[in-house]
């Protein structure tokens, strides 16, 4: 029985495989739409077969390049011939084959011998440079980006491979064959079981060497089968130390593998998670009509993961509530709807535009930010559904007005926060008694920090909207912030539009939410960046918090979350 047949029976895909698949498809579509000309680099391994299938089913204009080193296995050459035959069909994308320069490989063998690569790492790298690196340089000339089958699970040197790698945009790496290009790794977070589940489910043609325990396939003299317990790339250059096993195609710097982000101790996460779960259960037990404020942002997604652990998947005991300003990022709204659907949760959306239509919200001018007016719509929703508790993802480290917030924050009959009415919370005992018309705002992750949140996201593999990770975006510099260029936030006269690699530390209304410059494409890389951050996430990214020293305090008094 082949690996593909075993995959459906034994190698089960990850629990979040469908989310990974959707993310991979979306990444390929984004790459094809925004970064042409673009090419897929394929070694005809299992990962490359999956990526080719996704490209073909999405009907994307992305050709495939293959490096024929002159020493490939016969099975690989046979698969290449079958792949070329399929590519010859009408409307199919071509297969481009690149070989070493005429005579270069032969001259190397004549000079150093056929087994030179086993005498030293330097000779092996020289062989790779002739058979792989130089042909790849020619293949990528004139491209804006390339797609690879790198996965984090493949080896320790690839443990931090991002979905989009921007490292080759650095001018200091001009000697790389992929210098100046974006590298897309759509399967970066896939497991081996995910790969084979997809191959088996779609009956895809694959290299039969995989059935003979070759998870990674390269040149015949430098590849062997692996044994039980060895990692996926143990069969590549097996006579070398593990930290040297790259050929120069996928290095962060010439000759260096993708560097792993230093790991921090995250033992505190268990205690924080336990406290959060306790509070979520306390809310369910103490209140009649609670709701969880859900924006689709990272903090509310962390809350949802804890809620799943508190009550079980698909058993959330309260609805999700979002106040939509009408100016939210579409990526976040789409992710919000997708996540609510996956959970089978009731999603209640109330819009500031409806409050405007009722006359309860009036803008000073059409261009005024609607963010501050969420308080009115939120209080109207509380009155409509008679909510007696709202669970939010606010944290004390975000902003100084939130630093003195209680876990169970009492709000009066007008929905306002009164400092003198807050109750003591000694020994984790919470006074949840209410008078008619009053309610509580509950903040289960109040004791978490931004680094705790990102470490938890990394540990739990929580999917997030793409805005949270580094991407290219047009921005202008304004008042010390990077303001995204959108229809709602156009550049002002005299402002220069820049295209930068940025990510959002927090997401909210487009008119007042700014990204930060970043190349961090994984949760681990974001943790490393956050360690060096000088401003809180709201202080660094929210224009509405910079209007005065007491911006947040004033909005809390008005009923803001």
Structure token digits, residue 403: 């630093």
**Cβ–Cβ under 8 Å, residues 444 and 391:** yes
CB atoms near residue 265 (< 10 Å)? 7
Helices 104-112, 121-128: axis angle to 10 degrees equals 160
Residue 450, classified by CB atoms within 10 Å of its CB into exposed (0-12), middle (13-18) or buried (19+), is buried
Structure tokens at 287: 């209140």
Catalytic residues: 247
Give the residue carrying structure tokens 């009492």.
410
502, β-bridge pairs = 471, 517
Distance between CA atoms of residues 155 and 87, nearest Å: 31
Phi then psi dihedrals of residue 24, to 5 deg = -65, -45
CA distance 541 to 444: 23
- Please name the residues in contact with 50: beta carbons below 8 A apart, sequence gap of 6 or more: 149, 187, 190, 195, 198, 199, 204
Quick count: other Cβ atoms within 10 Å of Cβ 318? 21
Q: Which of 276, 199, 229 is nearest to 7 (CA)?
A: 199
Give the three-state DSSP class for 8. helix
Q: Which two tokens stand for residue 338?
A: 């997708």
Task: Name the one residue in this structure whose structure tokens are 């705790």.
Answer: 452
Angle at 520 between CA 514 and CA 526, to 5 degrees: 85
Q: Which residues, 6+ apart, have CB-to-CB distance to 122 below 8 Å? A: none
| Binding residue positions for [4Fe-4S] cluster | 127-128, 219, 222
User: Are 521 and 165 within 8 A, CB to CB?
Assistant: yes
- Please count the residues of the chain: 561
The conformational region for residue 437 under phi > 0 = left, psi -120 to 50 = alpha, else beta, is left
């Amino acid at each position: 029985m082949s690996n593909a047949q075993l995959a459906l029976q034994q190698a089960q895909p990850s629990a979040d495989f469908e989310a990974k698949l959707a993310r991979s498809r979306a990444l390929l579509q984004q790459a094809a739409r925004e970064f042409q000309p673009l090419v897929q680099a394929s070694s005809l391994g299992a990962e490359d077969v999956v990526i080719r299938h996704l490209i073909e089913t999405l009907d994307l204009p992305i050709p495939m390049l293959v490096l024929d080193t002159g020493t490939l296995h016969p099975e690989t050459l046979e698969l290449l011939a079958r792949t070329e035959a399929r590519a010859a069909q009408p409307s199919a994308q071509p297969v481009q084959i690149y070989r070493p320069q005429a005579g270069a490989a032969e001259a190397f063998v004549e000079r150093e011998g056929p087994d030179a690569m086993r005498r030293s790492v330097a000779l092996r790298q020289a062989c790779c440079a002739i058979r792989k690196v130089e042909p790849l340089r020619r293949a990528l000339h004139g491209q804006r980006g390339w797609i690879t089958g790198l996965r984090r699970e493949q080896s320790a040197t690839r443990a931090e491979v991002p979905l989009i790698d921007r490292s080759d945009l650095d001018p200091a790496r001009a000697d790389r064959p992929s210098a100046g290009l974006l590298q897309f790794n759509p399967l970066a977070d896939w497991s081996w079981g995910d790969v084979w589940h997809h191959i088996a489910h779609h009956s895809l043609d694959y290299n039969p060497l995989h059935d003979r325990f070759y998870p990674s396939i390269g040149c015949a003299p430098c590849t062997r089968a692996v044994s039980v317990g060895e990692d996926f790339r143990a069969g590549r250059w097996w006579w070398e130390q593990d930290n040297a096993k790259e050929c120069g195609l996928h290095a962060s710097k010439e000759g260096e593998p993708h560097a792993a982000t230093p790991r921090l101790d995250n033992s505190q996460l268990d205690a924080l998670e336990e406290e959060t779960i306790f509070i979520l259960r306390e809310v369910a037990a103490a209140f009649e009509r609670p709701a969880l404020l859900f924006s689709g942002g990272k903090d509310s997604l962390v809350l949802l993961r804890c809620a799943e652990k508190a009550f079980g998947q698909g058993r959330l005991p309260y609805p999700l509530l979002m106040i939509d300003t009408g100016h939210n990022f579409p990526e976040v709204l789409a992710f919000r709807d997708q996540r609510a659907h996956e959970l089978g949760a009731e999603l209640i959306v109330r819009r500031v535009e409806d409050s405007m239509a009722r006359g309860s919200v009036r803008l000073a001018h059409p261009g005024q930010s609607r963010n501050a007016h969420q308080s009115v719509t939120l209080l109207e929703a509380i009155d409509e559904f008679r909510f007696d508790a709202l669970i939010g993802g606010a944290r004390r480290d975000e902003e100084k007005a939130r630093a003195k917030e209680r876990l169970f924050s009492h709000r009066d009959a007008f929905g306002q926060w009164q400092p003198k009415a807050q109750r003591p919370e000694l020994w984790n005992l919470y006074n949840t008694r209410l008078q008619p018309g009053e309610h509580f705002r509950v903040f289960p992750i109040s004791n978490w920090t931004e680094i705790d949140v990102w470490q938890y996201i990394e540990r739990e593999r929580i999917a997030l909207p793409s805005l949270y990770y580094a991407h290219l975006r047009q921005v202008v510099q304004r008042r010390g912030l990077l303001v995204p260029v959108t229809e709602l936030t156009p550049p002002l006269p005299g402002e220069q539009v820049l295209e930068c690699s940025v990510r959002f530390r927090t997401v909210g209304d487009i008119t007042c939410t700014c990204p930060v410059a970043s190349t961090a494409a994984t949760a681990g890389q974001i943790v490393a960046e956050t360690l060096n951050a000088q401003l809180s996430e709201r202080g660094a990214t929210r224009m509405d918090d910079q209007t005065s020293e007491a911006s947040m305090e004033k909005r809390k008094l008005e009923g803001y979350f």
